[in-house]
Amino acid sequence: MNFDYIVVGGGSGGCVLAARLSEDPSVSVALIEAGPVDKNILIHVPAGLALLAQTHTANWNFSTVPQKGLNGRVGWQPRGKVLGGSSSVNAMIYIRGHRADYDHWAAEGNKGWSYDDVLPYFRRAEHNERLGGEYHGNAGPLNVMDLRSPNKYLQAYIDAGREAGYPINDDFNGAEQEGIGPYQVTHRNGERFSAAKAYLTPNLGRKNLTVFTEAHTTRILFEGKRAAGVEFRRAGRLEQIAANHEVLLAAGALQTPQILMLSGVGPAAELARHGIGVLHDLPGVGRNLHDHVDAVQVVDAPHLKETFGVSLGGIGRVLKAIPEWRNRRSGMLTTNFAEAGGFVKSDPSEAIPDLQLHFVVGKLIDHGRKTVFGHGYSAHVCVLRPQSRGSVTLASADPFAAPLIDPNFFDHPDDMRRLVRGFRQMRALMNQPALAKLGGKELARSADATTDAQIEQFIRTYGDTIYHPVGTCRMGSGAMDVVGADLRVHGLEGIRVVDASMMPRIIGGNTNAPVIMVAEKASDMIKAARVAGAEASPQTVRAFADTDTPAVDPQAA
């Protein structure tokens, strides 16, 4: 089978690409996803993410190699394995990052990626139910809204933030990011609204769009240095499809570099170590991995029955909430758990916020994978722009073997220094009267950590990712960069990377909305190149973004 474009990965980036490129009925598009169709009810009930974490449903369920910065522990790396990718299993928070993040990309030589360049793509993607103006879109396919039925203790957290001296912010994606406030979420009508539901599902009837699910990509096929197709295994059989124009890798920061290396593209020594023939020696593939490392403070409050927890009363409330959600799409099952948070500075001298906070309406232990009895709440703090860098490498030449994931947490001492300061700030906020009067008690494992050295040891014992790996196919023009500003892989033809792999430096916030933006922008680059019959620079596609044309009617089913 031949297609004009083959998209590898049905996550946030892949769903956008498939929808946008197939808008032209004369263009044929194939989307390859290793996971199943997103039919599981746990995906669509927002609170179902708790059971998704415990059951590993729709999840690659990766682990890191032992982390010296985490006392030798193995960390967890959940990634979505289903249409919608991680947008089908994440906490649904809509955050873009800070203006300075994108200006930094551009300042490194990536023309066309400044904040002013990318804002039109954020706006084009977005259908915000409350916010508008110059920073928000109201006609895009991705629905963004306030929580329909926020937990009663969300306001106590915001009040505590005010008491701690932070500004209150009800729009972290507007003119100013700093402050404490409620998070907006990618929901619609009380349901999760993943990239699949926003972009892909409404367009599955297009005759020029073919979606392969439960199809595991094994390698990219090349003719010389040009990507000519994709090989994948489906139902026990190897299949190959050809690309007339381009192969678009959107498999995520952990698997896009893995697929490149399995295809002979990457560091020559790494490929040779596994007996893989070197098609193109590209040393930066799999390097520059970095992630938001996070620490969690848990508060025990058994009398707060409105928080999530395992008790007779808690189970009863959930059972009563099921018909409310089924009949009215409201109630406690519409929670995303991390209902509020904020962006703060670890020191007043910082120019922009360097820490992010999340407030969770339940006791979160081990990423929610551990059943916790009783009630309470939790607070997260993470370092937004860590300086530590790790890698993704191959465990073997077997395409079904998980990659070796090494975020190299806390390799740079600045990351720990910031997180210790952040933990102190988070604790101070949690001890403000608005929360203190609730009568909760911090669990001993963190409460006993009072000195900087003790807090550091607590973090090394319990800290881990907050699920934002990026950077393994870095955008730039240096020797260790993998793609250019047009997202084409250096030294190859007919192949681009369109996912979090391309981020030269992680953005200051949750990464799902930025990946959707990247794919929106990439789709215009690809369209412009097709129209021109040649490579288009990132600047030439600005006119496409300014149209604010939705891929689908945001109110369509």
Report which of 173, 172, 156 is spatially closest to residue 164, judged by C-alpha positions.
156
Length of the chain: 557
DSSP state letter for 530 = H
* Integer Cα distance of 477 and 481 in angstroms: 6
Dist. CA 34–CA 245, nearest whole Å: 22
CA-based end-to-end distance of the chain: 30
Half-sphere exposure in the Cβ direction for 84 (13 Å, CA):
25
**Angle, alpha carbons 540-542-544 (nearest 5°):** 100
What is the distance of C-alpha 324 from the center of its chain? 30
C-alpha pair distances (Å), 205 with each of 7, 18, 22, 25, 209 = 17, 12, 11, 12, 8
Q: What does 151-180 look like in DSSP terms, one character per residue?
A: -TTHHHHHHHHHHTTPPB-S-TTSS---EE
How far apart CA 514 and CA 105 sit, in angstroms, is 13
Q: Which listed residue (280, 375, 468, 490) is catalytic?
A: 468
Q: Identify which of 159, 168, 91, 167 has the alpha carbon closest to the alpha carbon of residue 339.
A: 91
Closest of 38, 37, 4 to residue 209, by C-alpha: 4
Return d(Cα 206, Cα 22) in angstroms, integer: 8
Q: How far is CA 350 from the centre of its chain?
A: 25
Please state whether 46 falls in left (phi above 0), alpha (psi between -120 and 50) or beta. alpha
Q: Is 44 a catalytic residue?
A: no
Please name the residue that has the structure tokens 């329909």. 148
Q: Which contiguous run of DSSP H or E holds residue 118?
A: helix 115-125
Quote the CA–CA distance of 195 and 143 in Å, as a whole number. 10
| CA–CA dist 7, 10 (Å, integer) | 8
Query: E strand or H helix at 462, and its extent?
Result: helix 452-462
Active site residues: 468
